[in-house]
Structure formats: C-alpha cells, structure tokens
Amino acid sequence: MRHGGAGGCAMTPRKVTVVGAGNVGGSIAQRLAERQGYDIVLVDIVDGLPQGKALDLAQAGAVRGEDSRIIGAGCYDETAGSDAVVITSGMARKPGMSRSALLATNIGIVQSVVRDASARSPAAILVIVANPLDAMTYVAWRVSGFPRRRVVGMAGILDSARFRLFIARELNVPVSEVQAMVLGGHGDAMVPLIRHTTVGGRPVNECLSPERLEALITRTRNGGAEIVNFLKTGSAYYAPAASVVQMVEAMLRDEGAVLPCAALCDGEYGLTDISMGVPVRLGKHGVEEILEFDLTPDERAAFNLSAQGVRDLCREVDKLLGA
C-alpha cells in the first residue's frame, strides 16, 4: 500500500496513459512505475505488445517490492479518466521519404490518437513526444480543442540536458553544477541561451573558449542524430523518457517547476498560434505560465529564425487539417 502526507494517509494514485509501447513509451511506463503513485495504462495497436510489456513491468515491480498498477491495452476504453496522456506514437522518417510526407503521415496518427484519448479523458493534460515535435503539439491542440495550457510538448528539456552533459564532460565537473536553457524548435533550430548557462554559478563563456562552446552547441543540435548513427536501426529513448517523466511529475505533483517545453504561444515572444520551445512553469493545470526571458539581439535573431521554421510547419498543418 502506498502512503504519504500527514499522518501516513493513503495517497490517491494519478492515472497516466502512455500511447505507444515502443522503446520511448515502454521506458516512460517503467520510470513512472518505479516512482509509484501512478496508475499506468500502456496503449498500442500492435496486438499483445502493450499487454506483454505491462505484465513484464508489473513483475519487475514485484521484484522491487513496488505495487504500481500498470495494464496494457489495444484500445482506449481503459484510459478513461486519465490525468495525463503521453503520446509517443508516430512514424520515423524512412529513406527517400519527404518531410511533407512524414508530416502528413504523423498528422493522421496523432489526430486519431488525440481524438480517441481526449474523448475518454476530457480533463487530461496532453504531453506530446511524436515528431516533428512542435508541429505535432500544434496538431494535438487543434484536434483536441483543449485550452492551450493543457497541451505541451517535450523538447527543450532533452536539448538542455544534452547541452549540460556535454559541458560537464568537457570541463570534468558534475552535471548537477551545470545549468542551461535551450529554447526554439526541437533539433537543428534550437537556441541555447548562453547568458543563462552557468557552471558552478560562473557564466559558461568564462569556462570555455568560443570555439569549444560552439562545438558543444553543434554537438547538442546533432544530439539525436549522433545516437541514431550509433544505433543504426533506432533512436534515443532513455533520455526522452526521463524528460517526459520530469514533465508529468512537475504537473501532477503541482511542483511549479520552470522547464523548457513546446507550448502554444499567444503573444509571448511576439508569437501567436504556434507551438514553440519556451520556458514554462508546469503545475496542476499544465502550462501555468510562459516566462519571457530577455534575449540578446543575437539570441532574438536566432529565436525568430527558429520560429519561422516552426510557423511554416504549423501553417502546413492548417492546410492539411483544414484551417
């Protein structure tokens, strides 16, 4: 039995649905199960996959003395009443496949998932992991009809973590001593805020030469591709899963943590009706606030360029969905 709070009163578990039982979805379910305090539903269209992984995870919990409830399902009925729905489903780009074709394919997948999940959990917070991330977050907002604060994408946490790790290894310091914030579109168009990047409280540009710092920024931008090149037939999943769980816990535990996430902007940073990587405060309602940092002229130029790329994707989404 789970206990917590004053006097050891039993805590009511929060319900989290994870759509997609692949490597990312399975890793998210595992991390949530190990934290306890969650009822987890793992959903996938592949017959037997979510059920098998859920049973395996439940048995792992028995080894560890944990009793998180986790079930696998091939449909959405078991997901009803979820507090959060994490959407990892989507197709990876195949050789010879155009960006537009990938976008159209994943719009169809995410559109279907959002409709099924939101109909059964109309008060849930949607957490998007499917790619292209910024565009799929925008799709989920449009299709669900949810308030913008209840649709959020995982992006900047992962980019920031990669940047922090590379800096820490370069300087041979604990990663906990490195603070960083990465905004903008997920991937090549990310915008690291150097003035807000510190090592043991010191500005990072006092610790690294401009050349080494730029090399680490480039490596961060290519962080996902570097892992793909090693794996050959897959992509990152441990770090994305850890990033999602940090978001879910910040919201369902009402932590008020400030984290870089893809959120729907409505005037912040001069942006309207696009999803974009920005600093947000996460709490029980989802995105409680978008924080507007002061940007240098160079940061503003890079951020605007990144925003233009995201805006183009969102307008393409509008065409495909029917504006």
Which residues have a catalytic role annotated?
A: 186
In angstroms, the CA 295 to CA 271 distance is 15
Strand order of the β-sheet with 198-199 is 178-179, 198-199, 202-203
In the chain, the DSSP E strands lie at: 14-19, 38-43, 69-73, 84-87, 125-128, 151-153, 178-179, 182-184, 190-192, 198-199, 202-203, 257-266, 272-283, 286-290
Supply 204's token pair: 């990072």
Closest among 145, 148, 147 to 117, alpha carbons compared: 145
Structure letter (DSSP) for residue 30: H
Distance CA 160, CA 163 (A): 5
CA atoms of 141 and 290, how far apart (whole Å): 16
